[in-house]
């Protein structure tokens, strides 16, 4: 397979099979692509199981079994002029068996200048693997290279952790003279292999090589902080504590963060801004671009919002990121909105809650990833995504009590190519809400609950709303939510469109109102129900939805008289009612006879193995 110029693409449960002696049969090769997820795959071939070429960004490879073959490779890089940076590759929970190589990064000598950064290989099992870990900046498969001229591909921020190998063979780390390396290694528990080539060029070009060391390693972390000899200034690592930030939980670090960000934003090479472990007070800030190169904001500590809401500018958000390209937010840190003091206000009938800050705003970002971050106890929405293109949320945790009002987990509007995956959302409102102008939204492997479920809408409240096109919710689990999956529009609405919405392979545990289309949505009973919604809904499917429901009505489809639903399909719905009294279960034929020609359908919990379309 070859993946070129793709955005937000998922390959899951793919099998690739060729003999071990089949030449040049790479399993999956990718280049110039952003947001590619590969999981639960089996790759047996005669070359690289997976090869990652230039321009690859935010690539996640998980639960892949490789072998036979040549292993998993980043590269080879540097063979051609004008290669694009490789940024953000994570290979995790994979197994390699009988492969010639394990995991490797390879660049050609005598190469043009380029960048590969933020590469992480974690929790990998290797069985009978040759060369388990390789960084080779003198890669030359046919011995026709100018090896005396060093590679100019800058490799940085690389980690190998939790690698378990029974190989007992070589580990080689050979960096470039042209872009000198410094290495930090952490060694723990027992593991057994020999490093036979450990060649790092210092800034004075003194080399240490062929150091044979027997290491007992369970987690080897190689953080390659590369500094070019040609660069005498321009550090790529910006620690906010070096700019005056204090981890005392009281001193506002806003200015320190903004100063560090300004320095990173001006850097012509990939940079990292770091908030180290600890507890920090952070006021309202806007972190913005455009910047000269990709930046990773690494939050390792807990940052806390002010409790006093009078200090916030209305509708500006607590922490806003805007006008950025190739931005990464990561670090396993926590953004604590400290919203407990405001949740009791009358949000539903006043404009009070609209003035409260959203924890994290992402405005007009492109080709970016938010991963390994927690949003806690926001005063209003946790995360708002506006005007973004190709942004991925990976392993994001959102948490607030179920009685916290208006604390939607992630709200999306006027954005295209948004991926939310491998995340947990526990809150007091919608786990995910999808507003107008949302296109190609992919929500997979999300655990939702408590909360109000996953919603498209509400739509039709305002004039000139943009169409909603291409929503996929798949392989998600909802637990103890007040709604399941739903599409909702206001009555008496302007014209609008929502199409290609698919909810598949969903597990529901004790969910009220599991499946809903509601074109008479009116939360405060202040609508004109006599005038129908004019939002046109079409091409909607609910398939393979199973579990338990606490309400007698499992499927409630209320479409508009003014713009009837088209092409709505339900199939393989298996929901068991667990309330005090189970109702008699009608059969599929009766339901189709009674409701198939009408705009509304109301189904009690039942086993629906065939499909209903209308």
Among residues 70, 382, 411, 504, which one is catalytic?
A: 70
Rg of the chain over Cα atoms, rounded to whole angstroms, equals 26
Conformation bin of residue 162: beta by default, left when phi > 0, alpha when psi is -120 to 50? left
Is the pLDDT at 187 greater than 60? The verdict is no
Asked whether 150 and 107 are in contact (CB, 8 A), the reply is no
Most confident of 255-269, 339-353, 598-612: 255-269
Is the pLDDT at 62 greater than 90? The verdict is yes
Among residues 58, 411, 452, 504, which one is catalytic?
A: 452
The answer to whether the predicted template modeling score (pTM) of the entire model surpasses 0.75 is no
Weakest mean pLDDT among 35-44, 83-92, 198-207, 295-304: 198-207
Confidence of residue 149 (pLDDT cuts 50, 70, 90): confident
| Mean residue pLDDT across the chain | 83
For 468-499, write each residue's pLDDT tens digit. Answer: 999 999 999 999 999 999 999 999 888 999 99
Which residue in 454, 461, 490, 493 sits closest to 475, CA to CA?
Answer: 454
Higher pLDDT, 89 or 193: 89
Domains annotated on the chain, with CATH = 2-215 (2.160.20.10), 430-614 (2.160.20.10)
Q: Region 364-372: what's the mean pLDDT?
A: 93
422: annotated active-site residue: no
Confidence of residue 423 (pLDDT cuts 50, 70, 90): very high
Q: Which residues pair with 104 in a beta bridge?
A: 73, 134
Whether the link from the prior residue into 214 is cis, omega within 30° of 0, is no
Is the pLDDT at 230 greater than 90? The verdict is no
Higher pLDDT, 344 or 149: 149
Torsion of CA 298, 299, 300, 304, to 10 degrees: 170
Q: Region 201-212: what's the mean pLDDT?
A: 35
Is the pLDDT at 605 greater than 60? The verdict is no
Q: Region 233-251: what's the mean pLDDT?
A: 87
Give the model's pLDDT for residue 15. 93
Give the model's pLDDT for residue 112. 85
Confidence of residue 279 (pLDDT cuts 50, 70, 90): very high
Is the pLDDT at 235 greater than 60? The verdict is no
Count of CB atoms within 10 A of residue 37's CB? Answer: 23
Backbone angles phi, psi at 98, to 5 degrees: 60, 40
Weakest mean pLDDT among 193-197, 382-386, 403-407: 193-197
Is the pLDDT at 391 greater than 70? The verdict is yes
Structure tokens at 264: 């990173």
Give the model's pLDDT for residue 347. 55
Give the model's pLDDT for residue 535. 95
Q: Region 133-137: what's the mean pLDDT?
A: 88
452: annotated active-site residue: yes
Weakest mean pLDDT among 172-186, 221-235, 279-293: 221-235
Q: Using alpha carbons only, what angle is made at residue 332 by residues 331 and 334, rounded to the nearest 5 degrees?
A: 110
Give the model's pLDDT for residue 290. 97
Give the model's pLDDT for residue 574. 94
Q: Region 303-309: what's the mean pLDDT?
A: 94
Confidence of residue 555 (pLDDT cuts 50, 70, 90): very high
Give the model's pLDDT for residue 594. 30
Matching residue, tokens 């969910």: 511
Structure tokens at 498: 């929502």
């Amino acid at each position: 397979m070859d993946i070129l110029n793709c955005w937000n693409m998922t390959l899951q449960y793919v099998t690739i099979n060729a003999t071990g002696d089949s030449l040049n049969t790479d399993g999956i090769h990718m280049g110039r692509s952003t947001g590619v997820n590969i999981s639960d795959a089996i790759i047996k071939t005669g070359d690289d199981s997976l090869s990652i070429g230039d321009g690859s960004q935010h690539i996640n490879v998980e639960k892949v079994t490789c072998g036979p073959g040549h292993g998993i490779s980043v590269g080879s890089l540097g063979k051609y002029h004008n290669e694009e940076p490789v940024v953000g590759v994570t290979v995790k929970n994979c197994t390699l068996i009988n492969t010639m190589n394990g995991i490797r990064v390879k660049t050609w000598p005598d190469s043009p200048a380029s960048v590969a950064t933020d590469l992480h290989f974690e929790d990998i099992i290797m069985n009978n693997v040759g060369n388990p870990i390789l960084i080779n900046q003198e890669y030359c498969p046919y011995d026709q290279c100018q090896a005396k001229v060093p590679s100019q591909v800058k490799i940085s921020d690389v980690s190998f952790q939790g690698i378990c190998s029974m190989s007992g063979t070589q580990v080689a780390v050979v960096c470039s003279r042209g872009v000198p390396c410094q290495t930090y290694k952490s060694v723990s528990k027992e593991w057994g292999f020999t490093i036979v080539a450990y060649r790092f060029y210092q800034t004075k070009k003194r080399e240490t090589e062929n150091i044979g060391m027997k290491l007992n390693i369970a987690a080897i972390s190689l953080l390659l902080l590369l500094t070019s000899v040609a660069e005498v200034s321009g550090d790529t690592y910006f620690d906010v504590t070096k700019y005056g930030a204090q981890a005392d939980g009281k001193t506002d670090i806003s200015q320190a963060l903004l100063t560090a960000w300004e320095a990173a934003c001006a850097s012509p090479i990939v940079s990292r801004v770091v908030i180290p472990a600890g507890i920090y007070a952070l006021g309202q800030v806007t972190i913005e671009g455009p910047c000269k190169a990709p930046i990773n904001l690494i939050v390792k500590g807990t940052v806390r919002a002010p409790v006093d809401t009078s200090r916030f500018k209305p509708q500006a958000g607590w922490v806003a990121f805007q006008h950025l390209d190739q931005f990464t937010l990561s670090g396993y840190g926590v953004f604590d909105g400290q919203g407990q003091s405001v949740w009791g206000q009358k949000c539903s009938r006043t404009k009070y809650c609209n003035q409260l800050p959203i924890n994290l705003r992402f405005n007009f970002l492109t080709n970016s990833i938010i991963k390994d971050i927690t949003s806690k106890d926001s005063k209003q929405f946790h995360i708002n995504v506006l005007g973004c293109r190709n942004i991925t949320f990976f392993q994001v945790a959102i948490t607030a009590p179920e009685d916290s009002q208006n604390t939607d987990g992630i709200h999306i509007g006027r954005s295209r190519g948004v991926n939310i995956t491998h995340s947990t959302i526990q809150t007091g409102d919608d786990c995910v809400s999808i507003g107008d102008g949302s296109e190609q939204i992919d929500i997979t492997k999300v655990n939702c609950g408590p909360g109000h479920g996953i919603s498209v809408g509400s739509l039709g409240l305002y004039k000139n709303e943009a169409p909603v096109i291409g929503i996929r919710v798949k392989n998600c689990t909802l637990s103890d939510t007040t709604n399941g999956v739903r599409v909702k529009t206001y009555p008496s609405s302007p014209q609008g469109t929502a199409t290609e919405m698919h909810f598949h392979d969903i597990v529901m545990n004790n969910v009220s109102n599991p499946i809903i289309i509601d074109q008479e949505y009116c939360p405060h009973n202040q609508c004109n129900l006599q005038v129908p919604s004019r939002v046109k809904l079409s091409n909607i499917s609910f398939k393979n939805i199973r579990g338990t429901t606490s309400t007698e009505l499992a499927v409630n489809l209320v479409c508009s008289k003014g713009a009837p639903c088209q092409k709505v399909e339900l199939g393989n719905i298996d929901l068991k009612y667990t309330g005090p009294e189970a109702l008699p279960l009608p059969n599929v034929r009766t339901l189709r006879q009674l409701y198939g020609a009408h705009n509304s359908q109301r189904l009690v919990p039942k086993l629906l193995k065939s499909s209903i379309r209308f």
